[in-house]
Structure 1
C-alpha cells in the first residue's frame, strides 16, 4: 500500500483485517509500516537486505530488545484484549487481558469482543509505588525483565505484565534513581494506547 494515500489505506486495512479474521487463511504481507504490521500480523519475519534476521510471534518480536523494532520513536508492543465493560457515565470502555485492564474511549462493540491495542514505549512511565492521585487511569503491575541502552540519555525497559510484554522508554537518570534491575516490581503507567481495529 506504499503508493496509496492515507484515506485509501484507512479503507483497505479494515478489509484486510476482516479477511484475516473471517477466512483464517495464511496471508503474506510485506510492509515497512510498523502500524500496518501491528494491525495485521500474527507472525513476523524481519528481513534486512534479503536475509532473515529474526522471526516469531508478533508480540514477542516487538518486545525483543536485541532487534531494531524495540528501539526508536515507534517502538512498542501489541496487546490482545477483550472488552470487559463499558462506563457510560465517563464514555470509557475497559479492555481486559491477562496482565490487567486498560481504559480507552467508549467503544461500540459488546463486552467479550476482541480488541488489539498498540502501546508505544514512549507512552509508558514507571513508578515503584501505585499512584492513584494522577490523571493516568491505566496502571499495571509489572516486573522488569531486561534493560537496554536506547541512546546516551535513555534506556528501554522490557516488562512482564501477567505474561504479556510491555516496553517503557525512560531516562537513564530515572532508571538509576529507581534502582531498576531485572526482577524489580514496578507499576507501569500507560498514558495512551492506539486501538488497532
Structure 2
C-alpha cells in the first residue's frame, strides 16, 4: 500500500495531499500546475515534504515528525520520465544494465530475458538511443527501471511526448506490465483515456489538493 500525507510550500503554490492506495496502478490526474509532478518528486525523494508521511507497504520513506528521510538511491523506487532520459553514449544493453549496476544487484539473466520479451526490446540491444523511435526509447526506459528491482514504479506522463500512433504502440506494453510485472505503479497523466485503460485508483488533483479519489469513474467524460 502507498500512503501519502504531505504538505509542501512552493513559493506562491502549495501542495497539501492525503491518500492511501492499494491499487496495482494509482493514477494521478489533473491539469498542468495541479501539483502532480511535485507530488511524484516527493514520493521519489527528490523533494522533501515540509510536513507529513510517505510510506510503502508500511515502511516509512519520509516522516517529518521523526525528521526521517530516506535518500533517493535507497528508496528502491523506479522513475520513468516523459523524455526517457537514456544515456546517448550507451547502447540499449548498457542502458538497461545501468540501474542494476548502480544498485549493486546481482545479474538475473532470467529476469532480463523475461522483461526483454515482455517489452519487445531484445532486437534493440546493440542500438543507441538516437537510433530508436520514441516508443522504443520509452520501452527501454521501462526495462531499465524494472531491472533495478523497484518496490514502486513512478511514471511521469510517459506518453506525453509521443504522437497518437506511438501512444497506441506503447499502451499495450504498459497494460502487460501492470498485469505481469508485479510492481505497483503511480501513473501521472492529464489524459483520462490513458488512466481508464491502466489505473484502478485515481487521485484527482486541483491546485495542489485532492479534488476526488476513487475508481476510474471519478475521471471526467
Please say whether Structure 1 and Structure 2 have the same fold, judged by a TM-score greater than 0.5. Answer: no
TM-score (norm 1): 0.30
TM-score (norm 2): 0.27
Structure possessing the higher relative contact order (Cα contacts under 8 Å, 6 or more residues apart): 2
Of Structure 1 and Structure 2, which has the larger fraction of its residues in helix? 2
Of Structure 1 and Structure 2, which has the larger fraction of its residues in strand? 1
